[in-house]
């Protein structure tokens, strides 16, 4: 154990040795035989850290959009490949949610349903399937092969086309992607400029609300889209654009 600790650079671990010594001495006279003292699992990074993280694009967008869905209370909500242990878990607390993803998922909650599907190649069974859809930080991956999906440079375009088909007329689409100068960071993700996104989504959707998370992980809710914000991508190099859209 202590050999392991010596390998940790730039980490003051004297406190660990002191704690271990105190605990060992106290254990001699307490709970005899109940627990053996193992020395195989030192955790030295938690003592001086915060109790958790309340920042980051995923954390902020997941709570924000889950709250929007709670207020909207749609008849049937579908999620396309968003974060299961974040956004989907939030929504499943208060309503049923059906998940579509190209990868398999073992579901163990009564409010979660799952269908394995490739959203770049839509089954006709899902046309006009629901009145509410979310796709958070997902469509930027379509066609890059990262998650076992077929390689397709137009994967994101096919994805948005098929999501529009799944959604009923006047249905609501909650949508987020990385925001910045148009580029592909293969095979991690695409990043989209605001101008490109507007041209892309406005063909089939009306913008109800636009929000974004900046490069410093600050959430800006219900922002006016101006020529300035379009030209500079809201000042983001790799932020997060969040749209609430309504299908035309």
Convert the chain into a string of H (helix), E (strand) and C (coil).
CHHHHHCCCCCCCHHHHHHHHHHHHHHCCCCCCCCCCCCCCCCCCCCCCCCCCCCCHHHHHHHHHHHHHHHHCCCCEEEECCCHHHHHHHHHCCCCEEEEECCCCCCCCCCEEEEECCCCCCCHHHCCCEEEEEEECCHHHCCCCCCCCCCCCCHHHHHHHHHHHHEEEEEEEEEEEEECCCEEECCCEEEECHHHHHHHHCCCEEEEEEEEECCCCCEECCCCCCHHHHHHHHHCCCEEEEEEEEEC
- Taking domain 57-247, whether its CATH number is 3.30.540.10 is answered by no
How confident is the model over 225-240, as a mean pLDDT?
A: 97
Which pTM does this prediction carry? 0.87
Reported as a single tens digit per residue, the pLDDT across 120-174 is: 999 999 999 999 999 999 999 999 999 999 999 999 999 999 999 999 999 999 9
Structure-model confidence comparison of residues 11 and 20, the more confident one:
20
Reported as a single tens digit per residue, the pLDDT across 179-205 is: 999 999 999 999 999 999 999 898 999
Q: Is pLDDT above 90 for 222?
A: yes
Residues of the chain with CATH 3.40.50.150: 57-247
Residues in the chain, overall count = 248
Structure tokens given for 139: 């469509």
Structure-model confidence comparison of residues 23 and 170, the more confident one:
170
Structure-model confidence comparison of residues 27 and 9, the more confident one:
27
Say what the pLDDT of residue 33 is. Answer: 66
How confident is the model over 4-29, as a mean pLDDT?
A: 73
Say what the pLDDT of residue 11 is. Answer: 54
Mean pLDDT of the chain: 91
How confident is the model over 15-26, as a mean pLDDT?
A: 86
In angstroms, rounded to a whole number, what is the distance separating the alpha carbons of residues 93 and 100? 18
Q: Is pLDDT above 50 for 9?
A: no
Phi and psi dihedrals of 93, rounded to 5?
A: -65, -35
Say what the pLDDT of residue 117 is. Answer: 95
Say what the pLDDT of residue 50 is. Answer: 76
Q: Is pLDDT above 90 for 87?
A: yes
Say what the pLDDT of residue 16 is. Answer: 83
Say what the pLDDT of residue 1 is. Answer: 47
User: Under 8 Å CB-to-CB from 102, ≥6 apart: which residues?
Assistant: 81, 116, 117, 118, 119, 147, 148, 149
What proportion of the chain, given as a percentage, has pLDDT over 90? 75
């Amino acid at each position: 154990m202590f050999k392991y600790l010596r390998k940790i650079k730039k980490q003051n671990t004297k406190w660990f040795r002191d704690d271990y010594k105190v605990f060992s001495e106290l254990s001699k006279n307490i709970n005899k035989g109940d627990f053996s003292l193992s020395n195989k699992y030192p955790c030295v990074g938690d003592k001086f850290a915060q109790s958790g993280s309340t920042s980051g694009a995923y954390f902020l967008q997941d709570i924000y959009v889950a709250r929007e869905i709670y207020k909207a209370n749609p008849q049937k909500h579908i999620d396309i490949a968003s974060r299961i242990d974040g956004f989907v878990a939030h929504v499943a607390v208060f309503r049923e949610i059906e998940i579509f993803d190209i990868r398999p998922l073992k579901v163990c909650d009564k409010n979660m349903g799952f269908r394995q599907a490739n959203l770049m190649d839509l089954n006709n069974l899902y046309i006009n399937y629901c009145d509410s859809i979310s796709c958070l930080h997902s469509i930027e991956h379509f066609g890059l092969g990262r998650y076992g999906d077929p390689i397709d440079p137009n994967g994101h375009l096919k994805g948005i086309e098929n999501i529009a088909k799944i959604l009923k007329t006047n249905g609501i689409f909650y949508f987020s992607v990385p925001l910045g100068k148009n580029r592909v960071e293969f095979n991690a993700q695409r990043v989209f400029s605001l101008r490109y996104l507007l041209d892309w989504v406005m063909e089939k959707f009306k913008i109800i609300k636009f929000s974004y998370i900046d490069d410093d992980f600050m959430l800006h809710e219900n922002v006016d889209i101006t020529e300035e914000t379009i030209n500079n991508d809201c000042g983001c190099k790799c932020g997060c654009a969040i749209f609430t859209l309504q299908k035309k």
